[in-house]
Amino acid sequence: MSDALLYEVTLEVDPESAEAVERYMRERHIPDIWATGCFRRIRFDRAGPTTFRTCYEAGSRRDLDRYLDDHAPGFRAEVVAHFPAGISITRLIWGPVATWP
């Protein structure tokens, strides 16, 4: 995993949207992203009632760039179409610095 890049997306959602956002992410959004073949692992986490995080593990920068260039714009537009308000999104790319067993 030391060469893997993590693309992390954090969602802060309004309480009244939390259930619908979680369902959308689990049933549609993440499975559709998985189907692109750009990632070797995806993890979806919840930190509290209105905070979600998805970590997408790309095996290489090339795989991540392929996702960002070819797929991300469409997926981002779909999220906005489903949730035009009540959701704040933060995206970060994490690269390895050091690994311990």
> What is the bridge-based pairing of β-strands 51-58 and 87-94?
unpaired
Domains and CATH numbers, the chain: 5-94 (3.30.70.100)
Quote the CA–CA distance of 93 and 84 in Å, as a whole number: 24
Q: What is the DSSP string of 11-55?
A: EEE-GGGHHHHHHHIIIIIHHHHHTTT--SEEEEEEEETTEEEEE
Q: Is residue 1 very low, low, confident or very high in pLDDT (cuts 50, 70, 90)?
A: very low
What is residue 15's predicted lDDT score, i.e. its pLDDT? 97
The rounded distance, in Å, linking the Cα atoms of 31 and 75 is: 11
pLDDT bucket at 3, cuts 50 / 70 / 90:
confident
pLDDT digits (tens, 9 = 90+) for 30-54: 999 999 999 999 999 999 999 999 9
- Is the pTM value of this prediction over 0.85? yes
